[in-house]
Amino acid sequence: MIVRKLLTDGIVRLTGSTATGGKPRQMLEINARARIGVGIQLAFEAITLVATDTSGGVIARHQIDGAALAPPEKVTRRIVQGYVDFVRGSGLDQTTIAGVAIVAPGPIDQKAGRILGPPTLQHWRDFPLREEIGSGVGVPLLVDNDAAAAGIGEFWSRGVSRHETFGSIYIGSGIGAGVVLDGALYRGASSNAAEIGHVTVVPGGRECFCGNFGCLERYAAPSAVLSEASANKRAFDDLDLTFEVERNARDFDVLGLAAINGHAAARTLIQRSAVYLAEGAVTLANLFDLDALILTGPGVAIAGSMYTRAIRTRLESQRFARSTHPISVELSANPRDAAAIGASSLVLQSTLSPGHGPVLHRSARDRG
Amino acid sequence: MIVRKLLTDGIVRLTGSTATGGKPRQMLEINARARIGVGIQLAFEAITLVATDTSGGVIARHQIDGAALAPPEKVTRRIVQGYVDFVRGSGLDQTTIAGVAIVAPGPIDQKAGRILGPPTLQHWRDFPLREEIGSGVGVPLLVDNDAAAAGIGEFWSRGVSRHETFGSIYIGSGIGAGVVLDGALYRGASSNAAEIGHVTVVPGGRECFCGNFGCLERYAAPSAVLSEASANKRAFDDLDLTFEVERNARDFDVLGLAAINGHAAARTLIQRSAVYLAEGAVTLANLFDLDALILTGPGVAIAGSMYTRAIRTRLESQRFARSTHPISVELSANPRDAAAIGASSLVLQSTLSPGHGPVLHRSARDRG
């Protein structure tokens, strides 16, 4: 019965039959392209669209201008247009698209399908994101946290055992994390879990938008590292840094490249950021008692090895459960697209295994 | 079929039949005493034994001298004797005892049934706790973390909804926590999760046995508060403090009582400890995105309200998800016995709902 349903839906197909003595057996294969998920990462610097199939492979990728400071209505129209261009340009079969997940930095209101305004996207706070995009793209939609999505994406793409307690730390404009338990993202009460960027690393330190002081992301995120660099511009005269907030991501790549090439001042800054991040990693590992930790996000695309080294060193000497089991610390294979790929995995997970992920919503206009 | 099995086991019993027109119906009631769990908390200051029935009610309680610095072999004999006296003295029906859970501060090696040596019980590190006690008491046994056990105990005794993301912080000789998800304790890779006592609150601060520096429990646990008091003994001249490490728990009660009665120096110390604890609470709430938080353990038996107040204030202004949902912060109804009661709940959970808790082991001698 289950096989017949999968055959009807095209998820499984017959590829012939065998008869090695006894009753002939039907041969089946999974048709990975029968269901396609689309993930869209909404960020200040860029908006990334990817499509993945059920094997987890990326079958198309597209990037358009970031949200920057433009009004949400305008950015939304650009996203819808970008989606239409993406589907057409990649030759995707529209009938196979199971849905779209749009991911952004937290906090998010997943039930309402809104983002609640991280610092770079404050003006999006009351914007009905899911409804606006959903009615434009005409397929079911969900809104989720980018760092959490990256976590489930890394989990699937690595073929990790379901029984591993798997964590990932995401460095984008801020710092977030995702924890995967029994093959599903750990959600907590409101899908705002694993907020490692808001662990205090400097008590009474810099004020953070979250209401707390001295949060990890105010010391270790690319924007924090770059504002330290800008306070000592002469040390970075030889590097092509713009020090424009809108170009933080690009400047951080330049700084990271200099650091791994031995630029002393750049190394010092990145190293300091890595030591702070390692402190957050110890807390994440201790609270979830992790087996594995992946570093991902655009912030580790260039100098990621400096971060993994600092984290491994700290976990080896300071992790609470180090005498009972090891922990692996690895770098993502595709850190820049991790959140968009993870978003796409969320769509497929909520389609193929309902109840194990967030719910895809049809927009009111679409339903009507 | 299921009912028949429950009837045979005595867990459910017939209480008559009704006939309100139509087919007569058998009336069943749950026999709460059909299965009894015994929880034993092994601590430096005292060893507590409790028995609970399936309704979660405590039906017997017994306390004997703590482990202190005595050799584990000697303490183990005392525990076995204490168990025998407890069962006999309380008139418990031995055939209904489903098992015993013995809980102690982490880290623990749950598979091997050993404790890995918290500061107060360092000499227990390689001692085969489960085997030694198990063969003495002659019922299945498990070894677990005291703070985690307290978490599940608080969860059951409060009748919390399964869908709540429930956390508890335990203040004993150290500081630990328990998180209950979907009605079961969150375990992580090795049952050493939610180690909130080892969140850094003073970067580069006091060295901790866990390998890290500046851990919460080095600033907020009773022992830490008392060593601050002993550095300024004159301010506490009017209080009957012994400043003996072995009497930390008793001294902390004295200090707590003075604090709630307005003793200025005592208030300052407890308040400072509460502010540190509140920082740990923000981290726990942010990483697990909690709905509810309970404070428990002997450390909050007297001045608990000062701790809940400090935590509520911090969570209201600094919790990451505060705009999406509230969090309740409450004090345990029975903080001193919470770990032993929770241990007992673990026994019943692993008996009545196997797969949802740790496994009870029969000792080799018992099996043979």
Residues of B in contact with A320 (CB under 8 A): 106-107, 192, 195, 198, 210, 212
What average pLDDT does this structure show over B361-368?
63
Q: Which residue has the higher pLDDT, B28 or A149?
A: A149
Give the pLDDT band of residue A2 (cuts 50, 70, 90): low
Question: Strand, coil or helix: what is A102?
Answer: strand
Q: Is there a single domain that holds both residue A158 and residue A101?
A: no
Neighbouring C-alpha atoms within 13 Å toward the C-beta of A207: 4
Mean pLDDT estimate for chain B:
91
| Position with higher pLDDT, A16 vs B60 | B60
Least CB–CB distance from B200: residue in A106, A279, A289: A279
In this structure, are residues B270 and B300 in contact, taking their beta carbons and an 8 Å threshold? Answer: no
The shortest CB-CB distance from A190 to any of B211, B287, B289 is to B289
Is residue A141 within 8 Å of A128, Cβ to Cβ? no
Type and span of the H or E element at A180: strand A175-181
φ, ψ of residue A66 to 5 degrees: the values are -70, 175
Most B-contacting residue of A108, A186, A196, A212 (CB-CB within 10 A), to test interface: A212
Query: Is B198 within 8 Å of A107 when comparing Cβ atoms?
Result: no
Do B120 and B48 sit in the same domain of this protein? yes
A55-76 pLDDT, tens digit each: 878 999 999 999 988 999 999 9
The whole-number pLDDT of residue B368 equals: 42
Indicate whether B249 pLDDT > 90. yes
> In sequence order, what DSSP letters do the residues of A207-221 get, joined into one string?
B-TTS-BSBTHHHHS
Q: Which residue has the tokens 């990728």?
A: A61
Rounded Cα gap, residues B186 and B130, in angstroms: 22
Q: Which of A143-157, A177-191, B12-26, B260-274 ranks highest by mean pLDDT?
A: B260-274
Whether residues A135 and A176 share a domain: the answer is no
Same domain, A164 and A293: yes
d(CA B80, CA B131): 12
A364 against B256, higher pLDDT: B256
Phi, psi of B328 (to 5 degrees): -100, 145
- Is the predicted pLDDT of residue A368 greater than 50, yes or no? no
What ipTM was predicted for this assembly?
A: 0.88
What are the tokens at A193?
A: 């879990």
B189 chain-A contacts, CB cut-off 8 A: 164-165, 289-291, 321, 325, 327
- Written as one letter, the residue type at B240 is D
Q: Which sign, positive or negative, has the C-alpha torsion B278, B284, B287, B291?
A: negative
Residue range B1-27: average pLDDT? 69
Could B324 and A164 be called an inter-chain contact, meaning their C-beta atoms sit closer than 8 Å? no
Q: Which residues of A touch B107 (CB under 8 A)?
A: 320-321, 323-324
DSSP state string for A41-67: EE-SSEEEEEEEETTS-EEEEEEEE--
Is residue B219 domain-shared with residue B177, that is, in the same domain?
yes
Instruction: Determine contact, residues B47/B79, Cβ cutoff 8 Å.
Output: yes
Is residue B165 packed enough to be buried (19+ CB in 10 Å), middle (13-18) or exposed (0-12)? buried
- Residue A287 sits in a domain whose CATH number is 3.30.420.40
Whether B246 has a pLDDT exceeding 90, the answer reads no
Amino acid at A69: L
Residues A117 and A156 in one domain: no
Among A15-29, A155-169, A276-290, B51-65, the range of highest mean pLDDT = A276-290
Contacts of B188 in chain A (CB under 8 A): 165, 288-290, 321
**A261 SS3 class:** coil
- Judgement on whether residues B234 and B312 belong to the same structural domain of the protein: yes
Cross-chain Cβ contact B195/A323 below 8 Å: no
> How many CB pairs (< 8 A) connect A and B?
136
The minimum CA-CA distance between A115 and chain B, rounded to whole Å, is: 11
What does the pLDDT look like over B184-211, one tens digit per residue? 999 999 999 999 999 999 999 999 999 9
Q: How many domains does chain B have?
A: 3
Is the domain of B111 the same as that of B196? no
Contact residues on chain A for B318, CB-CB shorter than 8 A: 210-212
Strands A166-171 and A292-296: parallel
The answer to whether A283 contacts B283, with C-beta atoms less than 8 Å apart, is yes
Q: Is the pLDDT of residue A164 over 50?
A: yes
The residue of chain B with its CA nearest to that of A180 is: B188
Statement to judge: residues A61 and A15 lie in one domain:
no
SS3 at position A175:
strand
| Encoded tokens for B281 | 């609470």
Q: Contact A286/B198, CB-based, under 8 Å?
A: yes
Looking at the fold, whether A178 and A293 belong to one and the same domain comes out as yes
For A116-152, b where at least 16 C-beta lie within 10 A, e where not — what string?
Answer: bbbebbeebeebebbbbbbbbbbbbbbbbbbbbbbbb
CA–CA gap between residue A267 and residue A150 (Å, rounded): 27
* Pair A193, A148: CB distance under 8 Å: yes
| Contact residues, chain A, for B323 at CB < 8 Å | 107, 116
Query: Hey, are the CB atoms on A194 and B287 less than 8 Å from each other?
Result: yes
Gap from A2 CA to chain B (nearest CA, Å): 27
The CB density around residue B350, as the number of other CB atoms within 10 Å, is 22
Tell me the H-state helices in chain A: 2-8, 72-90, 129-137, 146-158, 217-220, 222-230, 248-260, 264-288, 304-318, 338-352, 364-367
CB contact under 8 A, B282 and A200: yes
Instruction: Supply the pLDDT for residue A87.
Output: 96
Chain A hits for B311, CB-CB cut-off 8 Å, are none
Burial level of A46, CB count in 10 A (0-12/13-18/19+)?
middle
Residues 6+ apart with CB under 8 A from A326: none
- Are B80 and B137 in contact by the 8 Å Cβ rule? The answer is yes
What range does the domain containing A17 cover? 2-30
Measured between alpha carbons, how far is residue B273 from residues A126, A322, B362 in Å?
Answer: 39, 27, 42
A interface mutation test: which of B187, B192, B216, B275 has the most A CBs within 10 A?
A: B192
Residues A138 and A285 in one domain: no
Residue B188 Cα, gap to closest chain A Cα (Å): 5
* pLDDT on residue A19: 63
Looking at residue A157, its pLDDT comes to: 84
Structure token pair of residue B24? 């007569």
CB–CB of A287 and B283 under 8 A? yes
CA B307 to chain centre: 18
Give the distance from CA B255 to its chain's centroid.
Answer: 22
Q: Please state, as a whole number, how many other Cβ atoms lie within 10 Å of the Cβ of residue B30.
A: 13
- What one-letter code names the amino acid at A189? A
The verdict on A187 and A125 lying in the same domain is no
Peptide bond into B107 cis (omega under 30): yes
